[in-house]
Structure 1
């Protein structure tokens, strides 16, 4: 990863520093992850760590317009509950939490925010959150799952029939963003169960994940590389920067 540049990270700021930053800040980036199993080779904080680091890198690019809010470390993960350690929120709980975050920011004069999501299980809930929160407050909101913005890099670096979780794509990202949460000596190919049907797209499963895989992983993480992770993350950053700047110009 490249050297750190200027960025507004709310978790590291005092209130006078925030007060001064608000003279420049136009919107907030709200990282949203999950706490769930990621096979035998990635720590369960994976989604939250990726969301946080990606948002900080994006905040550097969008400085001084963007304020990066502390990460929401839990998400909607009921389909991973058969695996030990997973903690899930109900959709209503996540919506309520985001409502309170947006409300607090609104009271400080920030009326625009982007949910930066790293967990596919949050997608439907975030769509509902956008509608519910906008109905209550006079705010402008958007949301995206960042890996959905890296189609070209993923297509050129992932060839597994079934992928999307603790796979070569996700492990490559971790090698680039946060190698300390990876168990290099435990990397395994996903043990897909006979008859499992998993789309070669972002996952949105309505049944428990252990119905698909014995070890909690998909794809073949053995094929992962830091270089592939860099391609995926940097393409997503380029596209996210472009989309947010375009979106924020809309009155």
Structure 2
């Protein structure tokens, strides 16, 4: 399948691609603990692989930039190996990337995010940079739009981090991230503040992940399968591609 990935292209190839490219997709991930059964690069890798699938669907109208492989992860810092950016650091990196690509004629951008902790920062970045740079900036979580598949296959009341959803996606997109012999359910802490502060509650706020789970994961990764991951990724890719076609005002056939 055809796609435009900047990391694989020469400047002459990019120059030619700019004749049709209308948008740059910037994958945004994180480097943080993912429990005993997932590599810490998980979010960066999943953002990259989802961006590649979108690039195939949207060829020749988008290209994919290098991935920002660290994100806003202070809630994971007490687990060894986590590297976190401050929100203003992430916004500064995005500003530099947008300015660089605007200089080359790109006026539309999608921040494709695979880490929930980045979402609020990306909302601010989208608002601020769109006005500062006079460009159009959108952001999306990689698979959160796959409502039908998630509702069908994910039964855990709390999921979203190294759980059956995320591990299933990894088994489909990048199985080397997964340690199959260590798949575990979340080891939840009793009485943690997370019960009062998680999204959906009346008040949200910062809490550290060890206040919620002793082993760093939630949900039940033992229920993950490659097939579930494929259905979630396929539905989400179709949804994002459909929205991008509308935003860009183009009609192309979705590639399966």
Q: TM-score range by the shorter chain?
A: over 0.9
| 2:220 alignment counterpart | 220
Show structure 2 runs of 5+ residues with no match: 251-256
Q: 1: distance between equivalents of 2:131 and 2:20?
A: 27
Q: 1:158 to 1:200 in 2, by over 3 A?
A: farther
1:149 paired with 2:148, answer: no
| 1:97 alignment counterpart | 93
Q: 2: distance between equivalents of 1:10 and 1:221?
A: 34
Q: Taking structure 1 as the reference length, what is the TM-score of the superposition?
A: 0.94
1:56-82 Cα distance to aligned partner (Å, 9 max, x none): 011000000001111110100000001
1:162 to partner: Cα distance: 1.7
Q: 1:43 to 1:124 in 2, by over 3 A?
A: same
Q: Check whether the contact 1:163–1:200 (CA below 8 A) recurs between aligned residues.
A: no
Q: 1:205 to 1:14 in 2, by over 3 A?
A: farther
| 1:32 alignment counterpart | 28
1:190 to partner: Cα distance: 0.7
Q: 1: distance between equivalents of 2:107 and 2:83?
A: 30
| SS of equivalent residue, structure 1 residue 213 | coil
| 2:175 alignment counterpart | 179
Q: 1:200 to 1:98 in 2, by over 3 A?
A: closer
1:139-195 Cα distance to aligned partner (Å, 9 max, x none): 111001122111111111110122111100010001000001111111111101113
Q: Check whether the contact 2:26–2:64 (CA below 8 A) recurs between aligned residues.
A: yes
1:159 paired with 2:132, answer: no
1:200 to partner: Cα distance: 8.2
Q: 2: distance between equivalents of 1:205 and 1:193?
A: 18
Q: Check whether the contact 1:59–1:67 (CA below 8 A) recurs between aligned residues.
A: yes
Q: 1:99 to 1:81 in 2, by over 3 A?
A: same
1:218-238 Cα distance to aligned partner (Å, 9 max, x none): 011000000100011000001
How many residue pairs match? The answer is 244
Q: Check whether the contact 1:191–1:218 (CA below 8 A) recurs between aligned residues.
A: yes
